[in-house]
Amino acid sequence: MSEVKIYQIIGTYNKNHRKYLFRKEVRALKEEDALEKALSQITSIGIYRRQIKIEEIKEISIEESQDYLIRDISHLNE
């Protein structure tokens, strides 16, 4: 059985002639799934995918996670 990992996606997007930095933490089986989940969350606020530039995707540990919901869910599944 596959293990669910925590991924941190860092990038930028442009909206109203301004550049915004984002950092998303998501749980997923693969890096591609994590990217798709993060893009879905960002595009839900009216941003097009072509406006998004991904700068970094990395796997992080539970201790490195800053999202308390992801921490709690991950600790429950251990």
Let me know the angle formed at the C-alpha of 65 by 39 and 20, rounded to the nearest 5 degrees.
40
Global confidence as pTM: 0.88
% of the chain residues with pLDDT over 70: 97
Instruction: Return the biggest CA–CA distance within the chain.
Output: 45
| Domain that includes residue 12, residue range | 5-76
Query: What is the pLDDT confidence band of residue 73, given thresholds at 50, 70 and 90?
Result: confident
The per-residue pLDDT for range 7-39, each reduced to its tens digit, is 999 999 998 899 999 999 999 999 999 999 999
CATH of the domain at 57: 3.10.20.10
* Count of the separate structural domains present in the chain: 1
Let me know the angle formed at the C-alpha of 36 by 72 and 14, rounded to the nearest 5 degrees.
100
Confidence at residue 78, expressed as pLDDT on a 0 to 100 scale: 66
Distance, C-alpha 20 to centroid of its chain: 15
% of the chain residues with pLDDT over 90: 79
